[in-house]
Amino acid sequence: MPSKGPKESSAPSTGRGTERGRDGENGAYDAEAVRAKYLAERDKRLVPGRADIRDLRTDEHFTWYRDDPFTPYREREPVADEVDVVVLGGGIAGILAGAGLRKAGIERIRIVDQAGGIGGTWYWNRYPGVMCDVESYIYIPMLEELGYIPERRYAWGEEILSCLEAIAERFDLTRDALFHTGVTRAAWDEDAARWRLTTDRGDHITTKWYVLAPGILNLMKLPVIPGMEDFAGHSFHTARWDYAYTGGGAHQPLSRLSDKVVALIGTGASGIQCLPPLAESAEHVYVFQRTPSAIGVRGNRATDPELGGRLVPGWQRERMDNFQAIMLGRPVDVDEIDDGWTHHYAAVHHPPRTEGMTVAELMRSGEQLDYSIMEEHRHRVEELVTDPATAEILKPYYRYLCKRPCFHDEYLSAFNHPNVTLVDCPAGIERVTKKGPVVDGRQYEVDCIVYGTGFEPELTPLFRRVGHEIVGRGGITLAKKWGPGAASLFGMMSRGFPNMIVMPAPGQQAVVTVNYTQLAVLGGEFVGRMVGLLAERGIEIFDVSAEAETSWTRSTKRPACA
């Protein structure tokens, strides 16, 4: 019988029933002691100003960090014309919206993106080691349409980018696109029933529909560390990897680092992925860590070459649904994905509940389960890191969901290389001098600082993520309307902003999925069907009724335990 989808084997345990977890290695699980340890670790990090960030859109020293190192900037004449739809952003969401619109027969679709090409996240993030952390078979969209099976269970960024480029080509989405172009303002013209857009290239674009797909992790985050502008060496953010400086490529040694000392600041998802290649190439790497990530088993491996032959039509959607069902705590016959997400993440979200259990009992059993999962992570550090002092610093002491969980097979063992030193700085780096970072009064002299400091969180308000003013009916801006909180229908449309659709994302009253692509697939289909249907019926202007918006907005504010 044909398989429904790729079947993977061994995965981490759920933490349920682990004796280590329930009983701890040195005796019974002591809830008070665990809480005290977690609080003590938290308190080390409660330092005023520690979470401050520089605004890279306006920062006088670091705005150049946003420049595109991958595609040369070309001068062009400004464009002044009219299209059917402008899609802001050419990442997964923008491409899927474009594909949906094309399927609905929409002719003139214009993607506008600050990037030099298609791909969004996967255009910008080309650091060595970059890969998806949700299984590639459900993360890379439209695999069935492309007739493509990813080479590995978790795909490298390059492969993801080439799939996104292939989708854009398939749906002819680059013909009218404007790259290296930022939308600076969008205003609804009631008389013309059109949106009027201006850009930083002097363009004046008129469009009937405006689709926003600006990304959820599109704003690079840079911490405020005193003196960082004084650093005399080279520095960059992982989302703009400077291969001209490091040499090499995504899978080639970083040849120009062999005589360079590198500071890697940040140990979240990007930092952990780029450490192993850095460790292989640089003379020395100092890893500056405020809080260790929980690094679960990745279990990456090559795709079974026989797999393609076993798949049946509809397998990708079914596999996405299977993953989502597990994330929602719904029963499934088989866990098709069988990885750290479906084990640990799902388990923590849905701790076992038995008939008649009180809320207090449920909370306690949830805490024990969480503790046992975190104990597994701490034990894994001990197993993989040979130096006990380094291992201790790498152990995460907090509840599983305090930080986005990470998964990696080579990160922890990279600390066994003699040229890698972990620098513990829970309160943050003291300052940066022209020579490099200073922690506990010690100067670390480095040639280069790599900021693996991630992105402004996905809950950043939409009006900040889009980076431009959006003016709706009667001159009201989206920032003003959504200032006190989002007000929408489905998190995708907002009254007073006709013919504007926002691709679903967290923090804007849309649903949230661990596999972002599934949400984008649904959003893309919705955009295509809706615009197609209204075109078919000859409807020029669409706006949300006050009742629909109020009802949806209210439903999203329902107390969680109601």
For ligand FAD, the closer CB: 238 or 499: 238
111 binds ligand FAD (CB under 6 A): no
* Cβ proximity of 137 and 159 under 8 Å: no
Nearer to ligand FAD, 15 or 94 (CB): 94
Looking at the DSSP bridge assignments, the partners of residue 265 are: 288, 451
**125 part of the interface to ligand FAD, by CB under 6 A:** yes
CB of 66 to ligand FAD, least distance (A): 9
Q: Which two tokens stand for residue 58?
A: 């306006």
346 vs 466 by CB, closer to ligand FAD = 466
With CB under 6 A as the contact rule, which of the stretches 132-140, 352-360, 392-400, 487-495 interacts with ligand FAD?
Answer: 132-140
* Residue 452 near residue 411 (C-beta atoms within 8 A): no
Residue with tokens 């993106």: 113
Shortest distance, position 514 Cβ to ligand FAD, whole Å: 6
- Residue 19 region by backbone torsions, left for phi larger than 0, else alpha for psi between -120 and 50, else beta: alpha
Phi and psi torsions of 311, nearest 5°: -80, 145
Q: Which of residues 498-557 bind ligand FAD (CB under 6 A)?
A: 515-517
Closest approach of Cβ 315 to ligand FAD, in Å?
19
Residue 541 phi/psi, 5° resolution?
-125, 130
> Which of 183, 347, 393, 450 contacts ligand FAD by CB under 6 A?
183
Site string for ligand FAD, 365-394 (x = CB under 6 A): ------------------------------
* Nearest-approach distance from CB 114 to ligand FAD, in angstroms: 4
**HSE on the CB side for 460, CA within 13 Å?**
18
Rg (CA), the chain: 24
Q: What is the dihedral of CA 25, 27, 28, 30, to 10 degrees?
A: -80
Is residue 139 close enough to count as binding ligand FAD by CB under 6 A?
Answer: yes
Region near ligand FAD per CB under 6 A, out of 115-123, 226-234, 432-440, 489-497: 115-123
CA torsion sign for 108, 109, 112, 115 is negative
Strands 53-54 and 469-471: unpaired
Question: Judged by CB under 6 A, which stretch of 20-28, 216-224, 342-350, 415-423 contacts ligand FAD?
Answer: 216-224
Q: How far, in Å, are 31, 39, 356, 378 from residue 35 at the CA level? A: 6, 6, 26, 16
Instruction: Indicate whether 275 belongs to the interface with ligand FAD (CB under 6 A).
Output: no
The yes or no reply on residue 266 touching ligand FAD (CB under 6 A) is no
Contact range with ligand FAD by CB under 6 A, out of 112-120, 280-288, 403-411, 427-435: 112-120
| Residue 473: DSSP 8-state | G
Question: Please, what is the end-to-end C-alpha distance for the chain in angstroms?
Answer: 44
Query: x/- site string to ligand FAD, residues 58 to 97, per CB under 6 A?
Result: ------------------------------xxxxxxx---
Question: Which of 235, 270, 316, 368 contacts ligand FAD by CB under 6 A?
Answer: 270
Residues in the interface with ligand FAD (CB under 6 A) total 35
Residues 267 and 238: beta-carbon distance below 8 Å: no
Site for ligand FAD in 459-488 (CB under 6 A): 466-468
Q: Is 249 left (phi over 0), alpha (psi -120 to 50) or beta?
A: beta
Helix/strand/coil for 398: coil
Residue of 85, 99, 112, 297 interacting with ligand FAD (CB under 6 A): 112
* Interacting residues with ligand FAD (CB under 6 A): 88-94, 112-115, 120-121, 123, 125, 130, 132-134, 139, 182-183, 213-218, 270, 466-468, 515-517
